[in-house]
Structure 1
């Protein structure tokens, strides 16, 4: 026969359901809103993790029954009253669950019977610490309160691109893709039946009139079927855009995979990156895109790149679409050529958005010849120095591109 488990289990042989019902009933009488759902959660929690000590039972019941921070005092008072044979538990203001991070210090819980609880057995949230002045810090060796930290991605999104490594850039790129949950549409040429339509659909109306002696009792209306608006993005990968190239590449992949956009990179010549960036693997997509661009981190010919796009068969994708140009405006072509090319682009595109990494700097003005020549033909000039700027640009594009 197998040997008996030497670990003592609290409530051994007791009915878990009866204990949960009685305990939640006592909590309700004390003012804590614990109903059938919370009782069932406590029964399941006790079955999944049988309590080996009074402290383990305390945390299991607290996780299953407490939903609000204001109810912790009631829970602690009722729990101490039920298990009054043990030492009193600390009040909710000082009972802090241990952190789940491995690099945090151990948290001592007074009255638990254990000297310390390691950082891997704590709750999935952190209890808000009380507001204590610097001179009121307890010196009796009480529990250490871990500081609440912001989201890692939210903290990294405000840092410049040159301060991020490859792993952080890829993670922020996936978060940028999640921002593109929807994309604006334009009015299509096809029509479909809809109660809010303004035009009468003749064929469905006549077909329905056959049932009523050719009297059009019910009129069927129709409206245009919306179609996604085309997006075309051109990204500058020259030497002056070396630090921002990785972030703009993630934005291009987000547009290519979610918005079905056409994306291009240019330095001294134009390179189409739509097919490589649509790869299912982010690392493979970035590697293939880097291999396809042979003139990166060199000179810059913005006007020549835009002109090559308009002269190619991909120039038809610009018609009626949203064109996004990510560049700092440094161009070796003369400003007159930039003005002529942007005028052609303005006649075809629905909106032209220019993303400049230096546009968010205080006191910045478009003094560069290429940027100054292109600015009169742009609808908006937005900063693009961080992933937070790219996220705001995406949200702006979703709003502006949907306007008629």
Structure 2
């Protein structure tokens, strides 16, 4: 079936043949690209084109986008398939709407053109589009510092969907259980109710309680590309377990932001936290700030038997001796100390920063924290602590 395409501008003339025949073939390309193309959607697409001007590239674009795309992730696939199908004769591609932001790379590159003797691309029945991963899957592994505006907005929605599971610990209190040690008191009371006849052994076992989690987030200038995402991560954690999770920011001073992050709406919570942080995007005095945390909060119970997570790249403006001493104190108080460095997951990284070198002997884990995947791995480490 010969392929025809509408003219790019409306005033460039009519396409040869019946344009609807080529558009039916276009729906097959959309199906191969991974869009949920059904008979009903094709009928709706053709019905929309019957109402609109089929020779207008813009109207054809929007007719297909509104009838063929089931969710936002389908838009990028649709855009790439549309541009490949309706490309100009000379091989140059033009965007349907120049004001639209460039899409995230959700599909593999189109199959390369096979050049003829004169270097012109040969005609094909339809472009081969190979779907490799969705936008969400690709976004999970992307460095948060390199995301575009729309990608950051998508990441914020994904962070809001996180459901962190806090770690747990054995409680001193015991509860009823089918397994475990015998419960003499309950067994005796049961026998007395049965006129002294011992019919069964009642048992008890130690219950589990949520273990405290402390999040220390570096908001200095070197951590600015990651600070917004890390605060949203902290908001999801605090909202999930408001009684057992504490959040602080580190910079030139220590700021407790737990109360601000307990708000339900993430935007209001981050706005309130931003107003409470006086040293946003400033310098870093990790040693002094960790000392302030241990003296004012850690020794008073916040860090005792808790999982402490430090989000920082390890750049220390002051001396590293103070940081090493305070990390040693913190490690004696906490159940586990985890350091999350956004640069640790990058190729060629080595822990040579002064702060990391000073803190490394007292860490239980050194993790990467530059992407959504690494933050989800952190959640698993904290859960299993």
After TM superposition, the score normalised by the length of structure 1 is 0.64
2:18 matched residue in structure 1: none
Q: 1:63 aligns to what? A: none
* Contact residue 239 and residue 296 of structure 1 kept, 8 A: yes
> For residues 94 and 370 of structure 1, do their structure 2 counterparts lie closer, same or farther at Cα, with a shift above 3 Å needed?
closer
Change in CA separation of 1:256 and 1:214 when aligned onto 2, cut-off 3 Å: same
1:97–1:122 CA contact under 8 A, matched in 2: no
Please identify, of 253-262 and 342-351, the stretch whose mean Cα deviation from structure 2 is larger. 253-262
Give the drift of 1:369.
Answer: 2.0
* Partner residue, 2:287: 303
Which residue pairs with 1:182 in the alignment? Answer: 165
Q: How does 1:243-322 map to 2 (within 5 A)?
A: 243-260=225-242, 261-313=245-297, 315=299, 316-322=301-307
Structure-to-structure mapping, 1:154-233, within 5 angstroms: 154-164=137-147, 168-169=151-152, 171-196=154-179, 198-233=180-215
- Deviation digits for residues 54-99 of structure 1, max 9, x if unmatched? xxxxxxxxxxxxxxxxxxxxxxxxxxxxxxxxxxxx99x9697699
Q: Cα gap change, 1:162/1:217 in structure 2, threshold over 3 Å: closer, same or farther?
A: same
1:301-330 per-residue CA deviation (whole Å, 9 max, x = no partner) reads 111111111111454111111000001111
**Gaps spanning 5+ residues in structure 2: where?**
1-23, 55-59, 75-80, 82-110, 115-121
2:330 alignment partner, SS class? helix
Aligned residues of 2:262 and 2:269 also touching (Cα < 8 A): yes
Which structure: larger Rg? 1
Deviation at 1:345, TM superposition (A): 0.5
The residue number in structure 1 matching 2:317 is 332
Residue aligning to 1:17: none
| Cα deviation 1:230-257 (Å, max 9, x = unaligned) | 1001011111111111121122112211
Q: Which runs of 5+ in 1 are unaligned?
A: 1-89
Equivalent residue, structure 2, for 1:385: 370
Q: Distance between the aligned counterparts of 2:252 and 2:28, measured in 1?
A: 64
Would the alpha carbon gap of residues 97 and 283 (structure 1) be closer, same or farther in structure 2, given more than 3 Å must change?
same
User: Residues of 2 paired with 1:339 and 1:161: CA distance?
Assistant: 29
Structure 1 residues 386 and 97: alpha-carbon distance in aligned structure 2, compared to 1, 3 A threshold: closer
Q: Does 1:349 align with 2:363?
A: no
Among 67, 73, 76, which residue is 1:121 paired with?
Answer: 67
For the residues of structure 1 that align with 2:195 and 2:151, how far apart are their CA atoms?
69
CA distance in 1, matches of 2:298, 2:331: 16
Q: 1:362 to 1:314 in 2, by over 3 A?
A: same
Cα gap change, 1:208 to 1:177, in 2 (>3 Å): farther
1:49-88 pair list within 5 angstroms: none
Q: For 1:318 and 1:396, how far apart are their aligned partners in 2?
A: 17
Q: Identify if the C-alpha distance between structure 1 residues 364 and 193 changes in structure 2 by more than 3 Å, giving closer, same or farther.
A: same
CA RMSD of aligned residues (A): 3.9
Q: Does 1:375 align with 2:360?
A: yes
